[in-house]
Structure 1
C-alpha cells in the first residue's frame, strides 16, 4: 500500500496557541494487515527554525552561545544553561538563510554575509512539529559588531563564547555540549576537515 493512501480522514484540533501551538492530528491509519484505526497524535511547535555554527578556519575557532533553557533546568542539568550554536525561529515570509544571518547578529553580534546549508532535520519527530535548517557560516574578527547577546524584548540573555574548535569538540565527550544541533554541526565540520 502506498504511504499516502495509508492515511485518510485527516483533521486537526488546536488545544493551545500561546508561545507555540499544541494541536492534535487525527486520522484513520490503514495497517498492512488490512485493519484500520482512528489515531490521534499531539504535535507541538512554533515555526520552523535555524541553527548556525560560526567557524573561523584561520584561527580554528568557533562561536557558541550559552543561555538558559527551561527544559534543561527542569531536568536538573547544568542549572539550565546550555552551550549551543546560534539558533532561532524563522519569521513569517523570511527565508531560512535570511533568518540564519539575522539570528547570528542578534545572538552573537557577528554580521556575516552568507551561510552554507548543511541539512534540514527534525529533532524530535514524534511530537515536535519544527523543522530545523542547519547551516555553517564562516566569520572573521572584522565581522564582529560587538552587539549580540540576544533580544531583550524576547527576554534573551546570551553569553557569547569563542572557543578553539578542538576544545568545543571535546565538550561533546565531557557532555558540556548536549544540544543535538550543536553536536551535528561540530561533527559536520570535523568530518569535512574544515578545521585543523
Structure 2
C-alpha cells in the first residue's frame, strides 16, 4: 500500500495482522487536529487490491446484464445471500479497462471491447484501501462468446441475468438490488438514459 504525503498526518508504524486473500494491517499514525494538537491513533486497514465494475447495456432490447452470486458477509447479516450485481472483479495487475473486459467475459460470457470509463470510487474509505473503477459497455444480449458463470477453480457459481432496464431500476426501491456499485451504475444510467439507450 503506497502512502501519499500530507503534512497533517505521519505514519509511524505498520503491522500485518493477517495476510491471505486480504491483507489486514494495523496502522499507527500521528494526526494534527484542527485545534493544533497532535494525537497518535491506530486503525485496522483491509487491503485486497483495486477493482473494476461494469454495467453491460443492450440498447436495442432496453436491457442490462447483471449477475447473481453468493455473498457470505450478507448471509452473516441475516439477509438473502445471493445478490444481484453488476459484473466486477479485482484488477490482478491489469489496467482497469483490461480487467473489466476479462471479468465481464468470465462472469457473463459477453465480450465487450469499447468500455467507457465513468468514474473511480472508494467504496468504504474508513477501512478499505479498495478503489473501484466504474465502466459502461454496450453489448448485443443475443451474442455471447462464452457461458459466463465465473471460474470454477475460484469457487464461483454465477447466474447471468438479462433484466429490462426499467425493471432493474425499480428493483433498487424494492430492495432486490442492494449492492452499492450496482445501484450507482443504474442511477448513472438513469441520469444518462437518453444517450445510453439511443
TM-score bracket, shorter-length normalisation: over 0.9
* 1:9 Cα deviation after fit: 4.1
Partner of 1:100: 100
Check if 1:141 corresponds to 2:163. no
Change (3 A) 1:90 1:9: closer
TM-score norm. by structure 2 comes to 0.93
Please give the alpha-carbon distance, in whole angstroms, between the structure 2 residues aligned to 1:191 and 1:117. Answer: 16
Selected match of 1:34 from 33, 36, 39: 36
Partner of 2:158: 158
Please give the alpha-carbon distance, in whole angstroms, between the structure 2 residues aligned to 1:122 and 1:8. Answer: 21
Alignment of 1:13-32 (within 5 A): 13-32=15-34
1:24-70 per-position Cα deviation (integer Å, ceiling 9, x unaligned): 12111111212111111111121100111100111101000000000
SS of structure 2 residue aligned to 1:106:
helix
Partner of 2:79: 77
Please give the alpha-carbon distance, in whole angstroms, between the structure 2 residues aligned to 1:13 and 1:20. Answer: 14
Change (3 A) 1:95 1:36: same
| Structure 2 unaligned spans of 5+ | none
* 1:163 Cα deviation after fit: 0.8
Please give the alpha-carbon distance, in whole angstroms, between the structure 1 residues aligned to 2:171 and 2:164. Answer: 11
SS of structure 2 residue aligned to 1:27:
strand
* 1:76 Cα deviation after fit: 1.1
Partner of 1:126: 126
Please give the alpha-carbon distance, in whole angstroms, between the structure 2 residues aligned to 1:8 and 1:77. Answer: 40
CA RMSD of aligned residues (A): 1.4
Partner of 1:89: 90
Q: Does the CA contact (< 8 Å) of 1:112 and 1:143 recur in 2?
A: no
* 1:161 Cα deviation after fit: 0.2
Please give the alpha-carbon distance, in whole angstroms, between the structure 1 residues aligned to 2:141 and 2:35. Answer: 61
* 1:114 Cα deviation after fit: 2.1
Aligned length: 192
Partner of 1:188: 188
Please give the alpha-carbon distance, in whole angstroms, between the structure 2 residues aligned to 1:47 and 1:111. Answer: 24
